[in-house]
Amino acid sequence: MKFKRKIIPDSNYSPSFITKKRLHEDEIDFDQLRSYRLSRVKKELVKRDIGACILFDPVNIRYALDSVNMSIFTMHNLHRYCFIPVNGPIILFEFFNCEHLSKHLKLINEIRPGISWDYFSQGDQVEKQIKKWTNEVQNLMNRNCGKNKRLAIDVCNGPGVLALNKIGLQIIDAKEIIEQARVIKSKEEIQCMRASLEVCEKGVRLMRNELKAGITEDELWSLFHKTNIENGGEWIECRMLTSGQRTNPWMQESSNKVIQQGEIVSFDTDMVGLYGYCADISRTFVEGHKFSSEQKKLYQMAIDQINHNSELIKPGLSFKEFVKKSWKLPEPYYGNRYSCMLHGIGLCDEWPMIKYPTDDDQQSGQFEKNMTVTVESYIGEVGGKEGVKLEQQYMVGENGLELMSHHPLEDL
């Protein structure tokens, strides 16, 4: 069944201003990209006998519909969401007077004003607004899902979930559904990721070239942000760049500390870049580019860990088997270990997150062709002076991993 669009289609949307082509833009079939991703979401709903999903998380909306608007703002304000039934029209509920932003997207059948019930925007009208929202959701479920009352939602506050339960809907966590949909990448997604990585590595080169004693961590990190934005990127998830003794332990963010001669500088890009895809690599430089013997030791250990773990991975290898065979982090460094040895990557960090043997029970699953992952290493002795952070981004190929991140490691 076809559904009539209520918004002007692509052909009538032609801005009069001149735009510069983005990296590989002419090589990517965006219609195919969008259709593939939406079909993955619907297949996961069918698999679990769920009638529809409502997505609030802007990254999930981006995956399902490629619709973007104020992503950071809507991560903490429930002003924007979409309704995706297995069978029926797809509806985007948009922020005030922003309907025009997604009118070029052919997979969206209708765009309506979003109904918000948070205190920030509604004050003492919250109860009235939440009733209005639940009535609309109930009507959509009755019209499109028949007797199926199972509705998946990714992000929603307590009052919203309680209100939906009261009208007889069974609320399912959509996190698993969307994460599983995002696991296997299409050819077009891989093209987008490569483009994002090219921009990322351009920023990494700029930082390496500008790294000199006297610059602050924040000043150096700002060069990376600038590169991302001026090349069409979107945001950076964290500010993980530190120098000298601030590199050990890890997880401190950049500061106004002045970088000194011969200090290590370690960083993790966490860059949501071109076309919304994440470029997540880590590098460690030394001011002056001459490693001391201790710095070389830490750096070589990080290389050894990444090389060992990446060589294990191939389609069919279980996550538990990977953990069993993974590189053994020496005891003096184990207390400062990173939060995981590996995680999936796509529009952002994705499932799976594979941890060290002592951290929680290891989850089930296996590596599959066309998964994309990053392999992580942080080496910093407990109580030590400095630490090294390295991370590489890969695609799981037919026989093993294909390296996607090409900025060279340092020549020791």
Residue that is last in its domain, among 141, 162, 182: 182
Comparing C-alpha atoms, which of 313, 316, 314, 220 is closest to residue 266? 220
Q: Under a CB-based contact definition with an 8 Å cutoff, are residues 128 and 85 in contact?
A: no
Residues 194 and 163 in one domain: no
Count other C-beta atoms under 10 Å from residue 299's C-beta.
Answer: 22
Residues 170 and 128 in one domain: yes
Write the DSSP symbol of residue 276: G
Residues 207 and 121 in one domain: no
Residue that is last in its domain, among 162, 182, 202: 182
CA atoms within 13 A on the CB side of 298: 29
Residues 164 and 257 in one domain: no
Residue that is last in its domain, among 158, 182, 206: 182
> Burial code of 367-405, b = ≥16 C-beta within 10 A, e = fewer?
beebbbbbbbbbbbbeebebbbbbbbbbbbeeeebeebb
Cα–Cα distance between 269 and 409 in angstroms, integer? 15
Residues 355 and 226 in one domain: yes
CA distances to 191, 266, 410 from 407, rounded to whole Å, are 17, 15, 9
Tell me, what CATH number does 348's domain have? 3.90.230.10
Tell me, what CATH number does 60's domain have? 3.40.350.10
Residues 305 and 318 in one domain: yes
Residues 104 and 199 in one domain: no
Residues 219 and 149 in one domain: no
Residue 6 lies in a domain: no
Residues 165 and 191 in one domain: no
Q: What residue numbers bound the domain in which 27 lies?
A: 18-182
Q: Write out the chain's pLDDT in tens, 412 residues.
A: 545 555 444 444 445 678 889 999 999 999 999 999 999 999 999 999 999 999 999 999 999 999 999 999 999 999 999 999 999 999 999 999 999 999 999 999 999 999 999 999 999 999 999 999 999 999 999 999 999 999 999 999 999 999 999 999 999 999 999 999 999 999 999 999 999 999 999 999 999 999 999 999 999 999 999 999 999 999 999 999 999 999 999 999 999 999 999 999 999 999 999 999 999 999 999 999 999 999 999 999 999 999 999 999 999 999 999 999 999 999 999 999 999 999 999 999 999 999 999 998 889 999 999 999 999 999 999 999 999 999 999 999 999 999 999 999 999 8
Q: Under a CB-based contact definition with an 8 Å cutoff, are residues 32 and 188 in contact?
A: yes
Residues 215 and 311 in one domain: yes
